[in-house]
Structure 1
């Protein structure tokens, strides 16, 4: 019951919130409209983030021990959700979103007192302490995580499925370490499952489709980086900082690679396009469901490897080198994507 009751409560609150908020969103115009970049049928309510927030926050009032750090988290999550809803409705400029994200990062650092103090021993036996520069690194980490999950939200279920992988990994590692923050990961898992039922219209096609929206992807990104920083904190030490890279590997690598390619072309790194990993799968002839399954499985495998190496205490510098090599292969694949697509098509024919 320690686990089941909070999970069921979060799931039910999110499920009910979707039913209640969905019609309201349609009336006020909080919907996603098809265009040249967004291919879907009809006007879809952008209320996934609001529903997940309601499911998690409401259930946390019953099951999460309230302390000053958790109150700061609630305030920062509420602020970012509000900015996300405004962005979904008004399409805010990038600068406004970045300012809000820096503000919530500062709330985590100066309000709750959580920030990255070191990179661990990724360069050898000595620990790479950050000192005061850890504040700047943490702000960049918050911006990176929030925008990584925001950018990967391109096909039905992808941001939700990838965040499930991350929250499951965080729940396990934080639970093993004895940190009560594992419960927040469980609450998000339950609410995201409820969201995915409507987003994917599974197991019943009669469910009304909804989208996560920027409010949802930014809320998830904030919560992920919040738990990652806590997990790597010396007082918790659920995992070393290098393990965090494996837990958000696919969103992180996709964001860094795509921003690099945009800058190389002389474009804004935040300008939307159709060059993400899931778009590449589609151009290779895979359906969206096949793309979703393949990318999620890849993310789960990488996260499992990261958790496994953490548990058996593989040296941090080896784990870091493996991740760098993996990212190098990923980036090389994107640069030579048409050769890869040709190879994949040949495999499909066989």
Structure 2
């Protein structure tokens, strides 16, 4: 217990220290978010949350987590994303360089670390579905999708951080329920390293002028972290056996995943780029309904927790995988339909 407590203290302390060091430097290097027609915040906000989380996790893991090639490749891949995310935060890069770096990271994950999703479990009650080496292509696409899912959902204070905590904490809970205490430290370090960022991002006790954002560096890092943890937890690897079934992963990453796919489908139907920013995300809908940014955060976080509980309880009670899959598809269809017709609902609601 002392060992774990020490690791968590280091992650928390380093994350806070990084924020305090970068706060006065960010404006001088252009690492700030300026308000515009889509961003209604006041003043230039430092985009240093992601760097602080990465630094806290890196130092704590180096000191306390058992070192392995897998862990080293995770931090190398994460460093690449934090770098390109930071460049994007400063220079507002186009989609192409971001996608190139995401593709490189996905390649490192699959071919460098040897991590890929090939076993989908007994989804159809006809036996285990295993796509073998085709899983490499699937995992590369899933990696890019997860990175962009967390990048897209980072639209209001605290949302990307809260979604990350819900998913990573769910992985930790399922790992603990599987009596696998050896692999629980990294998820715990990740959760604790996010907390200082949330304080500076959403807390009403945070002194005025010290607000920070996660930035693309942070949201992309969170997306990679989530897909990396989920792949390890759902697949048998040389490092250990699967902790929970693949279908469970859908539920504990449900909100970012459904929001991304629903939004991209809507954009494609409108004939615009699926990566073109708009005001159609779930948090935008919540705020159009009259919720404040803080209320929208609580509502969406509660929804994410509810979905994660469905996944965790389905795993605990070994609910048939096809039922969990059908349930997820039904929920996704309802979600996509609601977003598609959200403005009609809002007009009716406000009449």
Between the aligned partners of 1:112 and 1:344, the Cα distance in structure 2 is 50
| 2:133 corresponds to 1:132 | yes
Does structure 1 conserve the Cα–Cα contact (< 8 Å) formed by 2:259 and 2:282? Answer: yes
What does residue range 157-176 of structure 1 map to in structure 2 within 5 Å? 157-176=158-177
- Equivalent residues in 2 for 1:244-323, closer than 5 Å: 244-323=249-328
1:318-333 equivalent positions in 2, closer than 5 A = 318-333=323-338
Provide the C-alpha distance between the structure 1 equivalents of 2:234 and 2:101, rounded to a whole number of angstroms. 24
Measured against aligned partners, the alpha-carbon deviations of 1:80-113 in whole angstroms (never above 9, x if no partner) come to: 1111111111111211111111111111111111
Provide the rounded CA distance (Å) in 1 between the counterparts of 2:249 and 2:160. 17
Deviation for aligned residue 1:175: 3.1
- The CA deviation string for residues 211-256 of structure 1, in whole angstroms up to 9 with x for no partner, is 0000000001001000000001124211111111111100000000
For residues 56 and 176 of structure 2, what CA distance do their matches in structure 1 show? 21
Change (3 A) 1:343 1:192: farther
Q: Which residue of 2 aligns with 1:229?
A: 231
1:218 equivalent among 197, 217, 220: 220
For 1:204 and 1:99, the matched residues in 2 are separated by: 37
Task: State the number of aligned residues.
Answer: 346
With over 3 angstroms needed to count, the CA separation of the structure-2 counterparts of 1:183 and 1:205, relative to structure 1, is same
- The aligned counterpart of 1:44 is 45
The Cα offsets for residues 171-210 of structure 1, whole Å up to 9 and x where unpaired, read as: 1122333163322211111111110000113433447100
Query: SS of the residue aligned with 1:123?
Result: coil
Distance 1:11 1:207 in 2: 21
Deviation of 1:339 (Å): 3.9
Q: Is the 8 A contact 1:201 1:207 kept in 2?
A: no
SS at match of 1:211: coil
Displacement over 6 Å in runs of 4+: none
- Cα 1:207–1:2 change in 2 (3 A) is farther
The answer to whether the 8 Å contact 2:280/2:339 transfers is no
* 1:199 paired residue number: 201
Partner of 1:15: 16
- Tell me the SS of whatever aligns to 1:170: helix
Contact 1:34 1:40 in 2 (8 A): yes
Instruction: Name the counterpart of 1:76.
Output: 77
Cα separation, partners in 2 of 1:203 and 1:125, compared to 1, 3 Å: farther
Which residue matches 2:107? Answer: 106
Deviation, 1:26, is 1.2
Is the partner of 1:180 in helix, strand or coil? Answer: helix
Alignment deviations for residues 90-143 of structure 1 (CA, whole Å, 9 cap, x no partner): 111211111111111111111111100121111223111111210010001101
Contact 1:25 1:45 in 2 (8 A): yes
Question: Aligned partners of 2:280, 2:150: CA distance in 1, in Å?
Answer: 15
The 8 Å contact of residues 198 and 207 in structure 1, kept in 2 or not, is answered as no
Shift of residue 310 of structure 1?
0.7
